[in-house]
């Protein structure tokens, strides 16, 4: 039973440490990034706020977007994140359903949300594209948005940090108690039998 409790305690500690480290990392990268987007190993971590890409990407999911590089070739079927033409601070993630060619070279991309009835009104210029969606993390977008609030920072940084400290103090206390028990057992005189 003690082994099972130690394994469980270690697993909880590991999960808390990962949540704490991940939260701190994303908050710090978001604050330091000029575009105010959290990133991890150069990939952008974005929260999905609408259902335009359902069922492939759901509201509340997070997507991992690889920043667009000059050597990237965008093809039909790729899901791209781009800046809205009329609101550069607003990001949209839609699927490429067509490519506008000029002199045989891609000049713009026709996009559409999987859940939308019609394509987007304006083709997307390459200069508007932030990156290509590579992975989806279900429900992490809710957590990511929550992390941006004061309550979120308290809940996801301070509370896990306090729990980790409390668990370590508990471990230290257990070790001290076990050592005291061992000392008392050594000091206790052995029963001596006498014969008369």
pLDDT tens for 67-124 read: 999 999 999 999 999 999 888 889 999 999 999 999 999 999 999 999 999 999 999 9
Whole-angstrom CA distances from 121 to 52, 164, 170 are 14, 51, 60
- By CB atoms closer than 10 A (0-12, 13-18, 19+), residue 78 is middle
| Residue whose token pair is 């920043």 | 67
Q: And the tokens for 153?
A: 């920072």
CA torsion sign, 106 to 107 to 113 to 117?
negative
pTM for the whole structure: 0.65
Express each pLDDT in 22-56 by its tens digit: 766 766 666 666 666 666 678 888 889 899 999 99
Residue bearing the bigger pLDDT, 94 or 5:
94
| Cα–Cα dist 13/27, whole Å | 21
Strands of the sheet with 87-102, listed across from one edge: 39-40, 43-47, 62-67, 129-137, 79-84, 87-102, 105-112, 124-125
Kindly state the average pLDDT of the residues 120-145: 89
Position 63 confidence tier, pLDDT thresholds 50, 70, 90:
very high
Residue with the larger pLDDT of the pair 3 and 147: 3
DSSP 8-class letter at 103: T
């Amino acid at each position: 039973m003690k082994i099972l409790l130690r394994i469980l305690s270690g697993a909880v500690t590991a999960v808390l440490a990962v949540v704490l480290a991940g939260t701190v990392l994303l908050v710090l990268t978001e604050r330091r990034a000029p575009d105010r987007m959290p990133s991890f190993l150069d990939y952008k971590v974005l929260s999905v706020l609408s259902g335009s890409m359902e069922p492939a990407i759901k509201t509340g999911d997070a997507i991992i977007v690889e920043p667009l590089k000059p050597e990237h070739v965008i093809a039909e079927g790729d899901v791209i994140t781009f800046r809205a033409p009329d609101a550069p601070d607003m990001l949209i993630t839609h699927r490429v359903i067509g490519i506008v060619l000029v002199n045989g070279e891609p000049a713009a991309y026709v996009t559409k949300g999987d859940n939308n009835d019609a394509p987007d009104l304006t083709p997307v210029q390459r200069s508007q594209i932030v990156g290509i969606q590579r992975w989806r993390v279900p429900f992490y977008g809710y957590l990511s948005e929550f992390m941006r609030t004061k309550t979120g920072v308290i809940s996801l940084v301070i509370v896990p940090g306090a729990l980790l400290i409390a668990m370590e103090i508990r471990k230290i206390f257990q070790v001290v108690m076990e050592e005291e028990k061992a000392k008392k057992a050594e000091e206790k005189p052995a029963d001596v039998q006498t014969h008369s």
